[in-house]
A and B are shown apart, each in its own frame.
Chain A
Amino acid sequence: MSRARLTKGLLLLPVLIYTGFSAGPYLWTAMMSLRTTDEIYRNHYGLPIPPHWWKFYTAWTEFGYATYFRNSAIVAVVAVALITIFGAMAGFGFARRRYAFPLREPMFLMLFLSVMFPPQIMILSLFQILINYKLFNTLAGLILVYVATELPVTIYLLRAFFAQIPQELEEAARIDGCGDWAMFWRVMFPIARPAVATTMILNFIYFWNEFLYAVVFITKQEIRTLPLAIQFLVSDQYFDIGMLATGLMIATLPVLALYFFLSEWFVKGMTAGAIKG
Chain B
Amino acid sequence: MPVNQLETAETLARPLARDALLRARQRRPWGAIALFLSPALFFYFAFIIYPVLVTFYNSVHTLRMDLGMLYEYVGFEHFREILAEDEVFWKAARNSMTWAVVAPCIDIPLALILAFILHSKVPFARFFRTVWFTPLLMSYPVVGVIWLWVYNYDWGMANLVLRAIGLGPYAQAWLASPTTALPALILVTTWMFAGFNMVVMLAAIHAIPAEYLEAARVDGANTRQRLLHIIIPLLRPTMVNLAILDFIGKMKQFALVWVMTRGGPMWGTETVATYVIKRAFEWKTLDLGYPSAIAVLWFIIIFGLSLGLTRFLQRREALEF
In the complex, whether B131 has a CB less than 8 A from a CB of chain A is yes
State which of A19, A117, A127, A234 has its C-beta within 8 Å of the C-beta of B259. A234
State which of B128, B157, B194 has its C-beta within 8 Å of the C-beta of A25. B157
Whether the Cβ atoms of B58 and A101 lie closer than 8 Å is no
Ordered by A's residue number, 28 sampled pairs between the chains whose C-beta atoms are within 8 Å are A8-B122, A15-B117, A19-B128, A22-B134, A23-B134, A25-B146, A25-B149, A87-B40, A98-B32, A99-B29, A120-B252, A120-B291, A123-B276, A125-B51, A127-B288, A155-B40, A180-B31, A231-B259, A248-B142, A251-B139, A252-B137, A252-B138, A259-B130, A266-B133, A270-B137, A270-B196, A271-B199, A277-B244
Whether the Cβ atoms of B258 and A211 lie closer than 8 Å is yes
Assess A21 versus B251: contact at CB under 8 Å? Given A99-B29, A241-B149, A267-B199.
no
In the complex, whether B321 has a CB less than 8 A from a CB of chain A is no
Whether the Cβ atoms of A118 and B302 lie closer than 8 Å is yes
Chain-B contact segment, one of A47-55, A143-151, A163-171, A192-200:
A143-151
Whether the Cβ atoms of B54 and A147 lie closer than 8 Å is no
In the complex, whether A187 has a CB less than 8 A from a CB of chain B is no
In the complex, whether B230 has a CB less than 8 A from a CB of chain A is no
How long is the Cα–Cα vector from A180 to B143 in the complex, in angstroms?
46
Q: Which residue of A lies closest to B30 (CB)?
A: A101
In the complex, whether B248 has a CB less than 8 A from a CB of chain A is yes
- Residues of chain B at the chain A interface (Cβ within 8 Å): 28-33, 35-37, 39-41, 43-44, 46-52, 54-55, 58, 69, 113-114, 117-118, 120-123, 128-142, 144-150, 155, 157, 160, 191, 194-196, 199-200, 203-204, 238, 240-242, 244-245, 248, 251-252, 254-255, 258-259, 272-273, 276-277, 280-281, 288, 291-292, 294-296, 298-299, 302-303, 306, 310
In the complex, whether A73 has a CB less than 8 A from a CB of chain B is no
Q: Which residue of B lies closest to A212 (CB)?
A: B254
In the complex, whether A1 has a CB less than 8 A from a CB of chain B is no
Return chain B residues, CB-CB under 8 Å to A212: 254-255, 273, 277
Return chain A residues, CB-CB under 8 Å to B51: 121-123, 125-126, 129
In the complex, whether A256 has a CB less than 8 A from a CB of chain B is yes
Q: Which residue of B lies closest to A24 (CB)?
A: B157
Determine how close the nearest CB of chain B comes to the CB of A165; give it in whole angstroms. 15
In the complex, whether A94 has a CB less than 8 A from a CB of chain B is yes
- Residues of chain A at the chain B interface (Cβ within 8 Å): 8, 11-12, 14-15, 18-19, 21-26, 28-29, 44-45, 86-87, 89-90, 92-94, 98-99, 101, 107, 111, 114, 116-129, 144-145, 147-149, 151-152, 155, 180-181, 184, 205, 208-212, 215-216, 226-228, 230-231, 234, 241, 244, 248, 251-252, 255-256, 259, 263, 266-267, 270-271, 274-277
Q: With a 10 A CB-CB cut-off, give which of B130, B147, B160, B294 has the most chain A CB atoms.
A: B130
Whether the Cβ atoms of A259 and B137 lie closer than 8 Å is yes
Whether the Cβ atoms of A29 and B117 lie closer than 8 Å is no
8 closest residue pairs by CB, A with B: A93-B36, A148-B47, A209-B139, A90-B40, A125-B54, A277-B241, A180-B32, A120-B295
State which of B33, B48, B142, B296 has its C-beta within 8 Å of the C-beta of A252. B142
Whether the Cβ atoms of A128 and B122 lie closer than 8 Å is no
How long is the Cα–Cα vector from A28 to B292 in the complex, in angstroms?
41
Return chain A residues, CB-CB under 8 Å to B254: 119, 211-212
Q: Which residue of B lies closest to A154 (CB)?
A: B40
State which of A21, A89, A230 has its C-beta within 8 Å of the C-beta of B141. A230
Determine how close the nearest CB of chain B comes to the CB of A168; give it in whole angstroms. 19
Whether the Cβ atoms of B302 and A271 lie closer than 8 Å is no
Q: Which residue of B lies closest to A275 (CB)?
A: B200
Whether the Cβ atoms of A29 and B146 lie closer than 8 Å is yes
Whether the Cβ atoms of B145 and A22 lie closer than 8 Å is no
How long is the Cα–Cα vector from A116 to B52 in the complex, in angstroms?
13
Given A25-B157, A123-B295, A148-B46, 15 new contacts (CB under 8 A)? A8-B122, A22-B131, A89-B40, A101-B33, A117-B48, A120-B272, A121-B299, A127-B280, A151-B43, A215-B258, A227-B141, A234-B141, A234-B145, A259-B130, A277-B240
Whether the Cβ atoms of B141 and A231 lie closer than 8 Å is yes
Assess A22 versus B195: contact at CB under 8 Å? Given A122-B51, A267-B133.
yes
Return chain A residues, CB-CB under 8 Å to B248: 116
Whether the Cβ atoms of A89 and B39 lie closer than 8 Å is yes
State which of B46, B203, B241, B292 has its C-beta within 8 Å of the C-beta of A124. B292
Whether the Cβ atoms of B244 and A15 lie closer than 8 Å is no
State which of A24, A99, A122, A215 has its C-beta within 8 Å of the C-beta of B277. A215
Q: With a 10 A CB-CB cut-off, give which of B51, B113, B295 has the most chain A CB atoms.
A: B51
State which of A107, A118, A226 has its C-beta within 8 Å of the C-beta of B295. A118
Q: Which residue of A lies closest to B124 (CB)?
A: A15
State which of B117, B241, B294 has its C-beta within 8 Å of the C-beta of A11. B117
Whether the Cβ atoms of B139 and A111 lie closer than 8 Å is no
Q: Which residue of B lies closest to A147 (CB)?
A: B43
Assess A121 versus B52: contact at CB under 8 Å? Given A116-B303, A267-B133.
yes
